[in-house]
Amino acid sequence: MGTKTAYLKRLKGITFVGKTDSNHWITMDGPEEFGGSNAGIRPKELLLLALAGCTASDVVAILTKKRTPLDDFEINIKADISDEHPQVFTKIDLEYVFYGKDLNTKDIERAIELSQTKYCAVTAMLEKAVEITHSYRIN
């Protein structure tokens, strides 16, 4: 079993910097009315980017192995949040957007399915607590 580590340091108020084993720093912050400097991404927003980044890496890798010629690729994320604290995500929707000519829909659907059901560790963790849905479109 492997181990991952992370380090977080307070800069001021609720402004923090952190890094993980990859040794890349990221700034997290909150709004000024809560003691922040409004100078960084919110921690909860990082979860959405982690989810999108994880599944995007899978999908692109799978499609590359299938020799699918993507011109571009993006994911749009929409998350519903509960009104009461701790204001957790109640539903997350991922819209995969593929750009290219003659893209095979079966390959795209299979790549998304494999990411969602087998490879994406972030999906596997989050889906235990929140409904995750997805769709795709080809431009």
Q: For strand 25-28 and strand 6-12, is the pairing parallel, antiparallel, or unpaired?
A: unpaired
pLDDT at 119 over 90: yes
Q: What is the pLDDT of residue 134?
A: 98
Ordered by start, the domain boundaries in the chain are 1-41, 43-138
Q: Is the pLDDT of residue 50 over 90?
A: yes
User: What is the value of pTM for the model shown?
Assistant: 0.92
Flag whether pLDDT at 137 surpasses 90.
yes
* Cα–Cα dist 123/117, whole Å: 8
pLDDT tens for each residue of 99-117: 999 999 999 999 999 999 9
Mean pLDDT over 72-100 rounds to: 97
Which residues share a beta bridge with 67?
none
CA distances from 60 to 72, 121, 123 (A): 10, 16, 16
Q: Tokens 């340091």 label which residue?
A: 9
Report pLDDT for 110: 98
Q: What is the largest CA-CA distance in the chain?
A: 52
> Which of 2.120.10.10, 3.40.50.300, 3.30.300.20, 3.50.50.60 is the CATH number of 43-138?
3.30.300.20
Calculate the average pLDDT of the chain.
97
Residues 34, 11: Cα–Cα separation, whole Å: 15
Residue 1: pLDDT band with limits 50, 70, 90: confident
Dump pLDDT digits (tens) for 33-47.
Answer: 999 999 999 999 999
Nearest-angstrom CA–CA distance, 61 and 49: 18
Tokens of 104: 């095979």
Mention every residue, 6+ apart, whose C-beta is less than 8 A from residue 60: 70, 73
